[in-house]
Amino acid sequence: MSNKINLNIDLNGKKYPVLCEPGEEQRVINSSKEVNKVINELSAVSESIGETRLLAMTCLLLADKLIDKSEVIESENFQIKTNLNSQQVIELVNWIEKVTIRMNNVASLLEKN
């Protein structure tokens, strides 16, 4: 028996079922809100953007944000200012990788619809 939680999230006005681990529900919801925020920002720039292109641009912008954050993590000043130890940095990088996988799964779902 699976202990996964089934959520229905809204992305660009469409509902998508998403499975997550117990306790991750709010993070998935917050992630979908962040994706919708970027989608809305891009839609405001050009109303004639197709959904596939909109999704691609959204992924690129979110990936760019992740890269910026990764670069900060790699800097020595980040460790000094936040007092993160190497284990905490590894955990953060692992979390970023999981989020990237989830974003790719959402992209696949959007391409199918």
Please report which confidence band the pLDDT of residue 88 belongs to, taking 50, 70 and 90 as the band edges.
confident
pLDDT tens column, 21-67:
999 999 999 999 999 999 998 888 877 888 888 888 888 888 888 88
Angle at 69 between CA 64 and CA 75, to 5 degrees: 130
pLDDT (0 to 100) of residue 26: 94
Kindly tell me if the per-residue pLDDT of 87 is higher than 70.
Answer: yes
**pTM summary value:** 0.61
Measured between alpha carbons, how far is residue 102 from residues 5, 18, 68, 92 in Å? 15, 9, 19, 15
pLDDT tens column, 12-27:
899 999 999 999 999 9
pLDDT (0 to 100) of residue 65: 86
For residue 16, what is the enclosing H or E element? strand 14-20
Tell me the CB-side half-sphere exposure of residue 107, using CA atoms within 13 A: 17
